[in-house]
A and B are shown apart, each in its own frame.
Chain A
Amino acid sequence: MTAVVDLMDYAEVVERYDPVLGLEVHVELSTKTKMFCGCPNLFGGEPNTHVCPTCLGLPGALPVVNGRAVESAIRIGLALNCEIAEWCRFARKNYFYPDMPKNFQTSQYDEPIAFNGHLDVVLDDGEVVRVDIERAHMEEDTGKSLHVGGATGRIHGAEHSLLDYNRAGVPLIEIVTKPIVGMGERAPEVARAYVAALRDLLRAMDVSDVRMDQGSLRCDANVSLMPKGTSEFGTRTETKNVNSLRSVERAVRYEMTRQAAVLASGGTVTQETRHFQEADGSTSAGRTKETAEDYRYFPEPDLVPIAPSREWVEELRATIPELPWERRKRIQAEWNLTDEELRDLVNTGAADLVAATVDAGAEPGEARSWWVQYLTQQANTRDVELADLAITPVHVARVIELVKSGELTNKLAREVVQGVLAGEGEPDEVVANRGLKVVSDDSALLTAVDEALAAQPDVAEKIRGGKVQAAGAIVGAVMKATKGQADAKRVRELILERVGA
């Protein structure tokens, strides 16, 4: 794996070859329970504590479909402009690998619930690219393996593996594009923009928490090249589990330069699964792909077909919220933003977050300021996407409300936000647990004021004598005593009142 790999200069690649992309995105739904059983669908947890006979594949267990997950699948299909199947089934995808204790994955094969759609993707410079969607189907996630004894925690050289099935059976929607052609040098950017658009869409629909860092949104990138002037697709590779937007772009670009070098030297590209290496942005060979026949798909005998009535589909269509790009058009008009200002908001990933914060009751200027300034800084220091910060628009709106009502100062508000980002809970919980509320209770303040005056009788005397500016020293003492949680203006008023100045 450390062998030197020939890469072709990117400019030469796009001069000589046309890239063809196919993107498969897996989305974990944020239902309360798993796809086929009532085990909780939660990230993490003690190993093998969110499992039952069904998701462990024990003999005699009977799966039952989670209705909510089917609803989400149909809604996702509709938002992607897909047709919804009148009738479809689940199928067993058979393979022997310990990540599925049943030795098959319950998936959909030739009868996906949604098909033939499209998603319009806006690139950084405003150009719109239409990505055609082949299908969106329902399936279940696999368990997590831990490889023991290998030098890098990888399967290579491992002595044995340990399996946690908490994630096995978590509802997944796999969204597959049709081949994306004609993108030329912009192919890597298109791949990134597509995944970003899909993520924003799914977030707006509230069907998944779309955390790429936690694997609730994962992208497999299929890449192939064909010599300029030809139209027959080349052999593709599939780079698995690319786990950030930036990595999607890098993985596609790397595969283009690698495959071009192979082809130019007269070699052939091997059809295989490849792994993305986060450290240097390269990909390395994995297993040679099994063909669909090798999975011996057959209709799942334990689950009856799904036949969504047209009435149900229309009911679900009515629940689809304002979509991110529609919302962007609206906020541009409402906030009087230039195209450039809007694009900046969108490119920093702030637009939808600001809009959602406004929807949650905050004033647009305040909402924009929090996301574009303080929170963007926080995202940068943590090296995560703005949207992946552990704070929601509803949290931010609440913080803004607390400042507005005078319960928090701006300084305290930032502390509250730090608490939320550190996973200490909702803003109100952080305020309560860290004791951050502005001391607005006059009697508590008066006690502090009296103590401060008593401690510094000479200052008190000066104030009484008309030197009002001397009150600053007392204000300072009170602020210190209340750990900065008092409203300085009110403290000053109370001091003057107390000394009768």
Chain B
Amino acid sequence: MSNISRDEVAHLAKLARLAVTEKELDVFAGQLDQILDAVAKVGEVAADDIPPTSHAVPLTNVFRADEIRPSLSQEQALSGAPAAEEGRFRVPRILGEEQ
């Protein structure tokens, strides 16, 4: 049985930049528990000889040749941006997460 705490939900919400109310924390903690339990059931069925499945198609090694294809123009690239300056995307001040 998994057991997601309110604190864990709050932490996840913060990482995902989601505003979650106090009440929602309780609701989501319960719902996430149910989801994890459902996924854990699949784990009970899967034996060691069954490889993990992350894709629904049985394909590997899909590669592209190293050939240049046309890029967008600067104007096209910036056309959907809320703000641009000097040919660059302009973003608000970045707080507390210096890379």
Contact = CB atoms under 8 A, between A and B. Distances in A.
A120 B25 CA distance: 53
A360 to B, nearest CB: 25
Contacts of B94: 97-98, 145, 147, 155, 158, 161
Interface stretch (B27-35, B41-49, B68-76): B68-76
Contacts of B98: 154-156, 286-287
Interface string A305-336: 11110000000000000000000000000000
Given A39-B71, A146-B88, A162-B86, A67 B55 contact: no
Contact of A66 (B57, B63, B80, B87): B63
A238 B96 CA distance: 17
A307 B88 contact: no
Contacts of A307: 60-61
Q: What 4 pairs between A and B have smallest CB-CB spacing?
A: A38-B69, A67-B63, A68-B66, A162-B88
A383 to B, nearest CB: 27
B18 to A, nearest CB: 11
B99 A47 contact: no
B55 A48 contact: no
Given A31-B66, A97-B99, A160-B92, A48 B61 contact: no
Q: How large is the interface on A (under 10, 10 to 19, 20 to 34, 35 or more residues)?
A: 35 or more
A49 B93 contact: no
A64 interface: yes
Interface of A: 31-33, 37-40, 46-53, 56, 58, 64-70, 87, 89, 94, 96-99, 101, 145-148, 154-156, 158-165, 240, 286-287, 294, 296, 299, 301, 303-308
A305 B61 CA distance: 6
Contacts of B96: 287
Interface in B81-98: 85-94, 96-98
A64 B63 contact: yes
A96 B17 contact: yes
23 contacts: A32-B67, A38-B69, A38-B70, A48-B87, A48-B89, A49-B74, A52-B71, A56-B72, A64-B62, A67-B65, A68-B66, A96-B97, A97-B99, A101-B89, A145-B94, A147-B94, A148-B85, A162-B90, A164-B89, A286-B98, A286-B99, A299-B55, A304-B62
B36 interface: no
Contact of B64 (A38, A97, A164): A38
Contacts of A40: 68, 71
B4 interface: no
Contact of B60 (A96, A301, A306): A306
Contacts of A162: 85-86, 88-91
